[in-house]
DNA sequence: ACATCATTGCAACTTTGTTGCAAAATATTT
DNA sequence: AAATATTTTGCAACAAAGTTGCAATGATGT
């Protein structure tokens, strides 16, 4: 069995020193539960941390396998917490993502895995992203 | 049967006035055959057109169903020509996209359609994007 | 508590994207 | 073919997003 790691333990597990910025930004992800864009984080902690620190923290978290990126069509990449199996250089986020056109929330649909795609000869996949957009369960009337 | 429309006919078909910028940018897409980012277009025609014109032209083309957007994880949305069926407000680009990590080319794999995804209750899809990245057939050794 | 090493904030800068408006180009009418 | 109406373009000015170097601060292990 498996208990959820504390913020601090998560940082330590990935060999990161424990700083205010990292604790704070990581807890934003935990509390929100959904994906966040750089701009979201900046708004929620603007007085506390420099913009540059947020950029560098997100980059570090991606490299260490703490968060993963979610592509978008509007030049605003989002980030969401990885599952425990992800590690530096080895993400295992094979779930699909859902972006609600109304409320803007981006969900990791962990239960639904990305289907295997048969590519033309000579093409080799290292990663597959599947992003669905539409109306989420909170926004449907 | 079905012959390929000329640049000018394509613009007219979508009720756009025929201008140098539009002809030029549309032919960049035709000639390249693959997807282009704003930055690519700006480099290939920087002296000729203002940056603002390129932004507005791409936006117009998307609205009119001439090109479609391809999401990305690095804040650089790409654009590629639609098939003939697309029209203003009604895109029908249900193919997957492939981004090569080596040469950077983004391909529309028109033969491969995006699979239907069964979503949790209350979620309704209006669009699905599937992006594979890896090594393309030109870059494999 | 000290020394070492990593992280942060700041400043300065580059790149990317947006808006209003006058000038130029295109389309439409006469 | 000229005149008019409509659209598009370039420019300027700006706002937002992202990058880099470096000194100061903070974290870690002994
Ligand atoms: Zn919603
Ligand atoms: Zn996810
Ligand atoms: Zn390639
Ligand atoms: Zn495409």
pLDDT score of B4 more than 70: no
B141 inside domain: no
Task: Give yes or no for a contact between A87 and A14, defined as CB atoms under 8 angstroms apart.
Answer: yes
Residue B59 forms part of a structural domain:
yes
Residues B141, B138: Cα–Cα separation, whole Å: 8
**Over the stretch A30-65, which tens digit does the pLDDT of each residue have?**
999 999 999 999 999 878 899 999 999 999 999 999
For residues A129 and A114, the answer to whether their CB atoms sit within 8 Å is yes
The residue range of the domain holding A43 is 7-134
Q: Does any domain span residue B36?
A: yes
The first and second tokens of residue A97, run together, are 């993502």
**If contacts are CB pairs under 8 Å, which of residues 111-140 in chain A contact chain B?**
111-112, 114-115, 117-138, 140
On whether any CB of chain A is under 8 Å from the CB of B1, the answer is: no
**Residue A76 CA to ligand 1 centre (angstroms):** 17
Residue B1, domain member (yes or no): no
Cα–Cα nearest to A128, from B110, B88, B98, B103 = B98
In a domain, A141, yes or no: no
**How far does the centroid of ligand 1 lie from the alpha carbon of residue A107, in Å?**
9
Q: Closest Cα to residue A98, out of B91, B99, B123? A: B123
Please count the structural domains in chain B: 1
Give tens-digit pLDDT for B32-74.
999 999 999 999 987 899 999 999 999 999 999 999 999 999 9
Nucleic strand C near CB of residue A32 (< 7 Å): no
Give the total residue count for chain B. Answer: 141
**In a 3-state reduction of DSSP, which class is residue A134?**
strand
**B38: nearest Cα among B18, B52, B23, B21:** B52
Residue A14: which CATH number? 1.10.10.10
Q: Are strands A106-113 and A95-100 parallel, antiparallel or unpaired?
A: antiparallel
Å from A16 to nearest chain B CA? 24
Q: Is the pTM of this model over 0.85?
A: yes
Residue A26 lies in a domain: yes
Asked whether residue B2 is assigned to any structural domain, the reply reads no
Whether the predicted pLDDT of B89 surpasses 70: yes
Mean pLDDT, rounded, for A100-116: 94
| Contact residues on chain A for B109, CB-CB shorter than 8 A | 119-120
Q: Is the pLDDT of residue B3 over 60?
A: no
The pLDDT value recorded for residue B83 is 84
């Amino acid at each position: 069995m498996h208990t959820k790691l504390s913020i601090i333990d998560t940082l330590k597990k990935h060999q990161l020193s424990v700083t205010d910025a990292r604790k704070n930004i990581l807890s934003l992800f935990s509390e929100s539960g959904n994906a966040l864009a750089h701009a979201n984080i900046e708004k929620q902690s603007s007085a506390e941390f420099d913009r540059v620190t947020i950029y560098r923290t997100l980059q570090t978290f991606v490299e260490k396998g703490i968060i993963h990126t979610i592509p978008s069509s509007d030049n605003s990449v989002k980030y969401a917490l990885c599952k425990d199996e992800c590690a530096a250089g080895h993400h295992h986020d094979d779930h699909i993502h859902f972006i609600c056109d109304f409320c803007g929330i981006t969900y990791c649909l962990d239960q639904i895995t990305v289907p295997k795609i048969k590519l033309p000869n000579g093409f080799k996949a290292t990663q597959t992203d599947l992003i669905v957009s539409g109306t989420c369960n909170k926004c449907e009337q």
